[in-house]
Amino acid sequence: MKLAIDQYAHLSSPIHRWDARYKLIGLLTLIFAFAFVEDLRLVPVMLLVVVGLYWLSRLPLEFLTTRLQYPGIFILAMVGILPFLSGETVLWRMGFLTIRQEGSLALILVLSRFLAIFTTGLVLCGTGSFIRLVKAMRSLGLSRILTDMILLVYRYLTELSYQLTTMQHATQLRGFQPLKLNRRNLEIYAALAGSLLVRSYHQSQEVYQAMQLRGYGVTPGSAQAQSRVTLDTYSAIALLITLGVSIGLIGFEVLA
């Protein structure tokens, strides 16, 4: 399990240059504006915005396509049957296969929204280091408890999945080869899960101690917590543009 969401954080592009706090507000608003889209006439606009955004971010196309695979299959499995089952107006019929208009349109809408939101999320997370993004959340007022948790989870998700893999390797090296579901096999999996929990609990105690030994949780408002509030004109303009597009999309949806 490689979490390299920010493997392209080092690139330089107009989006990379965008301050993480402004970017967070801007792109999240955009995501919601996309979620609002119900009118099919907005779909091309939405896709155009996203293509532009991704192009600006200079992220390689391969980054998008590889990450799109799993959730893409998933959503297709969820809505792929819509054209065949949903709606009255038959577009096309061959044997027992019927393609219906309402379902097809719904499919197009859902898929485009999915694509737009997914890509925007990827641009948000992929164009800067993840840690920076979390710090931006904190300086925007997200609870310190949550952001500290996010940072630690970020660190330990890879670590623990690595530990799990290694423990599973250790079971294999000692001849564990489960081919069927029985009580003992299930119990061994439960032991793996349990070990992981206990191990991480134990580790969390020592981690907390190690953090305390290095001054955690006592100096509120230390240098780390406050980041300088500078007015970054470039980022502010980028934010205004994004907000403008978002409001435009939502406004059209509400008025039309």
Partner 1 sequence: MSEPILNELPKSAIADKTSAIAVGVQVSDLVFSYPHQGIILQNISFTLNLGERVALLGRTGSGKSTLMENLVGLKRPNSGEIQILGTTLGPETLFQVRQQIGFAFQDPNNQLFMPTILEDVIFGPCNYGVPEALAREQADQLLAGFSLSEVAHRSVHELSGGQKRLAALATVLALNPDILILDEPTNGLDPWWRRHLAEILIQLPVQILLIASHDLHWVSRVTQRALVLKQGQIQVDQPTIALLQDRPTLESCGLPPDY
Partner 2 sequence: MHISEGLLSAKVCLAGYGITGLITWYSLRKISHSSDPTAGVPKAALLTAAFFVASSIRVPVPPASIHMVLNGLLGAVLDIYAFPAVLVGLLFQAVMFGHGGLSTLGINAVIMGIPALIAAQVFQWHQSLGRHLNRTLSLNLFGFLAGVIGIGLSCLLFLGITILTIPSGFDAATEQTAIRGLTLVHIPLVIVEGIFTSMVVSFLYRVKPELLISSPSSHETSH
Interacting residues with partner 1 between 82 and 141 (CB under 8 A): 130-131
Q: CA-to-CA distance for 116 and 247, rounded, in angstroms?
A: 16
- In the region spanning residues 59 to 88, those forming contacts with partner 2, defined by CB under 8 A, are 67-68, 70-71, 74-75, 78-79, 82, 85-87
Q: How far is the CB of 220 from partner 2 (least distance, A)?
A: 10
- In the region spanning residues 101 to 140, those forming contacts with partner 2, defined by CB under 8 A, are 102-103, 105-106, 109-118, 121, 124-125, 130
Q: Compare residues 44 and 234 and give the one whose CB is closer to partner 2.
A: 44
Q: How far is the CB of 138 from partner 1 (least distance, A)?
A: 13
- In the region spanning residues 25 to 44, those forming contacts with partner 2, defined by CB under 8 A, are 28, 31-32, 34-36, 38
Q: CA-to-CA distance for 111 and 181, rounded, in angstroms?
A: 37
Q: How far is the CB of 20 from partner 1 (least distance, A)?
A: 15
Where does the chain have alpha helices with state H? 14-17, 20-36, 42-57, 61-79, 82-85, 101-126, 130-139, 144-173, 183-213, 233-255
Instruction: Write the CB contacts of 114 (distance below 8 Å, at least 6 apart in sequence).
Output: 71, 75
In the block, which residue shows the tokens 């939405």?
Answer: 46
3-state class of 38 per DSSP? Answer: coil
- In the region spanning residues 138 to 177, those forming contacts with partner 2, defined by CB under 8 A, are 143, 145-146, 148-154, 156-157, 159-161, 164
Stretch of residues binding partner 1 (CB under 8 A), selected from 69-77, 80-88, 107-115, 162-170? 162-170
Question: What amino acid occupies position 178?
Answer: P
